[in-house]
Amino acid sequence: MAASHGHDHSHAVVTEANVKKLTFALILTTIFLLVEIVAGFMTQSLALLSDAAHMFTDVAALAIALVAIKIGKLPADDKRTFGYQRFEILAALFNAVMLFMVALYILYEAYQRFSHPAEIQSLGMMVVAILGLIINLISMKILFSSAQDSLNVKGAYLEVLSDALGSVGVFVGAVIIYFTQWMWVDSLIAVLIGFWVLPRTWLLLKQSINILLEGVPEEIDIEALRNDLLALAQVESIHQLKVWAITSKNVHLTVHLYAPQADHQALYQQAWQMLSHQHGITEMTLQIEEDECIAQSTCQPQQHIHSDEDLHQH
């Protein structure tokens, strides 16, 4: 017996208000990203350019959150039975690869500048850092209430929060340069921001690739899940257990349960309750079998072998 269950299980209610907030924060952040890039080149500040790279992650995170809401609403069709939800993962992968390249460039530039520091316009650097901090704080205030309800918005909120720390770092660097004329401080701040961004970029890259490779999501403890399935009443063994994710929050499971004595309906209900409440999985296909070789998918199809005599008789 195969029983399948699946429904929309959004972890948070996505409202038009969330879309408006994300859009407003995205416009603000994008404008400032462009200002910071221009200012970085004008002031010769590598720290500003490094912070702009970090600001780019904010823009990408906000854009991905918005696109995920918009594209995720598109219906599934005969070509894409899961719909367009995985667009979010492709965008995140692109974001991570771009960030790695920018961070490596910043680190290389910083290495070059340690021996030949550029003349930094610390006052301009300070002004841009303060502006950046103000933009970040406005975006955080806009997103804060929705971040409590939506994991999608929460991800964008955390990006903006971490960038606010980057703006503080640039401001501190600018103040030190203004009073001491230690130009190398700019490169040091740039490297620190680079090292702040890289681990988070690596995590994003790893998670995106894991989802695209149909890996078990990191939040799922597969051993605990296997043991919980085996602990279900009258389940003698489990086979063909597969757990994967379509997006970061959309986890799917299929499994064959060998339970020859079980009431199929009762076992299905029990398994669904356990998987949804203990493991957060509500998209599942449970196949309850009374024949173990079917459960293991090792049964050979029965074939009638004709002898020469049979063939002559026909």
CATH architecture, domain defined by 11-212: Up-down Bundle (1.20)
Percent of the chain with pLDDT over 70: 81
pLDDT at 253: 92
Instruction: Please give the residue that has the higher pLDDT: either 278 or 296.
Output: 278
Question: How far apart are the C-alpha atoms of 283 and 272, rounded to whole Å?
Answer: 9
Instruction: Please give the residue that has the higher pLDDT: either 176 or 302.
Output: 176
CATH architecture, domain defined by 222-295: 2-Layer Sandwich (3.30)
pLDDT over 50 at 87, yes or no: yes
- Using pLDDT thresholds of 50, 70 and 90, give the confidence band for residue 2: very low
Question: How far apart are the C-alpha atoms of 142 and 60, rounded to whole Å?
Answer: 17
pLDDT at 241: 92
pLDDT at 304: 42
pLDDT at 150: 58
Question: How far apart are the C-alpha atoms of 239 and 62, rounded to whole Å?
Answer: 41
Which stretch of 93-102, 134-143, 251-260, 292-301 has the lowest confidence by average pLDDT?
292-301
Q: What is the pLDDT of residues 152-208, one digit of tens each?
A: 567 677 777 777 877 888 888 888 888 888 888 888 887 887 787 778 778 778 888
Question: How far apart are the C-alpha atoms of 273 and 254, rounded to whole Å?
Answer: 15
The DSSP call for residue 280 is -
When pLDDT is averaged across residues 30-54 and rounded to a whole number, the result is: 83
The DSSP call for residue 47 is H
- Using pLDDT thresholds of 50, 70 and 90, give the confidence band for residue 307: very low
Distances (CA, A) of 208 to 87, 189, 228, 253: 11, 29, 28, 19
Q: Which residues contact 104 (CB under 8 A, 6 or more apart)?
A: none
Q: What is the pLDDT of residues 269-281, one digit of tens each?
A: 999 999 988 888 8
DSSP for 81-126 reads TTTTTTHHHHHHHHHHHHHHHHHHHHHHHHHHHHHS-----HHHHH
The DSSP call for residue 305 is P
pLDDT at 204: 77
pLDDT at 107: 79
Which stretch of 15-24, 252-261, 291-300 has the lowest confidence by average pLDDT?
291-300
Question: How far apart are the C-alpha atoms of 107 and 202, rounded to whole Å?
Answer: 16
What are the residue ranges spanned by the domains of the chain? 11-212, 222-295
The DSSP call for residue 217 is P
pLDDT over 50 at 312, yes or no: no
